[in-house]
């Protein structure tokens, strides 16, 4: 990982920066996959501020958030917790993992994922399809599509599951 990337737990004072990074990376990721009016929604940052304020105010020990900073600027966000669907057979779900395009390939995404998914058991997530970069990232980290898909806000997503945690640098050697 680039030495200039620092991953840590967010605090309430980080909420505005978390929201801005979340929305910017979301826009970079979904531009062209979603309708422009959805991607460019002027209330997006305000809604993400409410989201992150709620997440950080909720002291549930089963939900873990992390942020990645470079030179003091938030460049990535992550959030994981128990499965949202109680019928899912995994112990954790990755809800959020976004990094700004400028830090793709820096190790920030892997460090964020490790920070919120420090578990040995099965893990699930949903990823946009098509989103070849994100899907390749998850495959390198042991995730595989399980055949389930859904459509939210006009975007198709596939479910990916990791049954066994991959160990450190060996997981990145592909």
- We report the CATH number of the domain holding residue 30 as 3.40.630.30
pTM of the predicted structure, to 2 decimals:
0.89
Token digits for 28?
């970079």
Measure Cα distances from 134 to 44, 75, 82, 129, 131 in Å.
22, 16, 21, 9, 6
Count of domains observed in the chain: 1
Asked whether the predicted pLDDT for residue 158 surpasses 50, the reply is yes
pLDDT tens profile 100-110:
999 999 999 99
Q: Report how far residue 2's alpha carbon sits from residue 15's, in angstroms, rounded to the nearest whole number.
A: 24
119-154 pLDDT, tens digit per residue, is 678 999 999 998 999 999 999 999 999 999 999 878
The arrangement of strands across the sheet holding 73-81 comes to 5-8, 64-70, 73-81, 92-99, 123-128, 155-162, 144-152
What range defines the domain where residue 132 resides? 5-172
> 23 with 100: CB under 8 angstroms?
no
């Amino acid at each position: 990982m680039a030495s200039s990337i620092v991953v840590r737990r967010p605090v309430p004072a980080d909420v505005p920066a978390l929201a801005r990074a979340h929305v910017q990376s979301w826009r970079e990721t979904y531009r062209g996959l979603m309708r422009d009016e959805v991607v460019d929604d002027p209330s997006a940052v305000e809604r993400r501020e409410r989201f992150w304020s709620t997440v950080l105010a909720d002291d549930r020990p089963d939900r873990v958030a992390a942020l990645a900073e470079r030179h003091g600027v938030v460049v990535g966000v992550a959030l994981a917790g128990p499965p949202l669907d109680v019928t899912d057979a995994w112990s954790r779900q990755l809800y959020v993992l976004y990094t700004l395009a400028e830090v793709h390939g820096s190790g920030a995404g892997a460090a964020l994922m490790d920070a919120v998914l420090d578990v040995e058991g099965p893990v699930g997530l949903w990823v946009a399809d098509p989103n070849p970069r994100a899907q390749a990232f998850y495959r390198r980290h042991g995730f595989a599509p399980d055949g389930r898909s859904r459509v939210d806000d006009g975007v198709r997503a596939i479910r990916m599951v990791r049954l066994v945690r991959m160990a450190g640098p060996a997981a990145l050697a592909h």
